[in-house]
Structure 1
Amino acid sequence: MFHIPLTSLRAQFGDIDIYLFDQLLKGRIQKGMQLLDAGCGAGRNIAYLMRAGVQVYGADISAEAIKITRELASELAPTLPARNFVVADLDALPFENEKFDVVLCSAVLHFARSEEHFKAEVRELWRVLKPGGMLFARFSTTIGLEGKLQQLEGRFYRMSHGPVWFLADEEMIMALEREIGMARLEPLKTVLVEQERTMTTWVVRKVV
């Protein structure tokens, strides 16, 4: 019997978010789909997708991150145009309405500059998503840590590891779902990290 070495997993899938990997296993991301990684950083969540034939796009506020991602794409998927990867704030994406089958936004939304900025980012991610498409977002929230974090002004909190983050709560997320017209693909899933922060996975579909 031939065994695939466990060490090949990292070579194949890289540093992809395990919760995004779950969406791959569920068949929600397919070859040929147009997918935007909003806040793509250096491309850790899209390296495998590039090799798998997904039509990947990326946006990030960091010019250096986009430079690295373009270099990654040129190596892994040379047919992907460099123009697919753009420097942009997530509240002003340079893409047409309803362009993408899937929009990813992993570990980004808690860096919002205000509640208005957070909501504008979510609405912009929704604007570029096709009807029937999936938004996958993972971000820090107050869920599971209510009353245990150092709250500053509004929805800003001093995190135990130092930075100040904008943290939505479940009520705010649900209000956005109702306002925008989102349909849950899965229940909210929140992971508690050492009583220091929580990371919530939000997977919703754009109703046709």
Structure 2
Amino acid sequence: MTIQQLNKELGNIDLYLLDQILKANIPPTVRVLDAGCGEGRNLIYFLNNGYNVHGIDQNPDAIRMLQFIAGSNYPDQPKGNFIEGQIHDMPYPDQCFDLVISSAVLHFSPDTATFWAGVKEMTRVLRPGGMLFIRMTAIMGLEDVISPQGEQHALPDGSVRFLITESIIEQLQNDYNYSPIEATKSVLVDRKRCMTTLVLRKNQIEL
């Protein structure tokens, strides 16, 4: 398979999300929501393989592009599955998705309240037993090189992000009734930023 063929099949998918696919943790029967989908870089594999795919993003231009891609290449996927909106106020019924993806989205939260509102809403639409995939900027390993800007932090790479911490991860699991599917992974990049990946299972029994 050539690089071009591989890119056509996978798109620019998050490697840690691809890892879950390769581990057979995301069977083709699941209903997928990408919360903060952009132009759909994490959805190409799912579209190519007949998953029931949905996406929401606040950027109307990105949604128009994703609708165009879907309409041009995946006629079985309704363009209406890809909508403009906020992840902390989504128009979906309760417990209607088997997988919710949040890749490089929650670290744009301006404050703690907005972060938790997004988590709460993603949890609402995820069925018990479903998977929540979160990848976002973290504080781990950067404690002495960041500076607060409100409830966000300025990073050495020049960006300003809301940072997930070990205490937030613990609170997320305890307060929203999640169990880790596998260990949390944090990658420190030249001490300029750290990206953390959470792969969580929503427990069957509601708190």
Unpaired segments of 5 or more residues in structure 1?
A: none
8 Å CA contact retained: 2:28, 2:50:
yes
* TM-fit CA distance, 1:69: 0.7
* TM-fit CA distance, 1:118: 0.1
8 Å CA contact retained: 1:47, 1:76:
no
Which of 106, 115, 119 matches 1:118? 115
Which letter maps to 2:121? E
Which of 198, 202, 206 matches 2:202? 206
Give the stretch that moved more between structures: 6-15 or 31-40. Answer: 6-15
Matches of 2:68 and 2:40, distance apart in 1: 10
8 Å CA contact retained: 2:88, 2:114:
yes
RMSD of equivalent CA atoms:
1.3
Which letter maps to 1:188? T
Residues 123-202 of structure 1 correspond to what in structure 2 (within 5 A)?
Answer: 123-154=120-151, 156-202=152-198
Give the secondary-structure state (helix, strand or coil) at the position aligned to 2:20: helix
Matches of 2:99 and 2:47, distance apart in 1: 14
Residues 25-174 of structure 1 correspond to what in structure 2 (within 5 A)?
Answer: 25-154=22-151, 156-174=152-170
Matches of 1:161 and 1:72, distance apart in 2: 32
* TM-fit CA distance, 1:130: 0.8
* TM-fit CA distance, 1:186: 1.0
Matches of 1:85 and 1:39, distance apart in 2: 11
Give the secondary-structure state (helix, strand or coil) at the position aligned to 2:107: helix
8 Å CA contact retained: 1:38, 1:58:
yes
Equivalent position of 1:18 in the other structure: 15
8 Å CA contact retained: 1:50, 1:76:
no
8 Å CA contact retained: 2:138, 2:195:
yes
Q: Deviations over 1:74-123 (max 9, x none)?
A: 12321111111111111001100000010001000000021000011011
Q: Report how many residues are paired.
A: 204
Matches of 1:127 and 1:147, distance apart in 2: 36
TM-score, structure 1 as length reference:
0.93
Task: Indicate the percent of aligned positions where both proteins have the same amino acid.
Answer: 38
* TM-fit CA distance, 1:72: 1.2
Matches of 2:154 and 2:195, distance apart in 1: 15
* TM-fit CA distance, 1:12: 1.8
* TM-fit CA distance, 1:7: 4.9
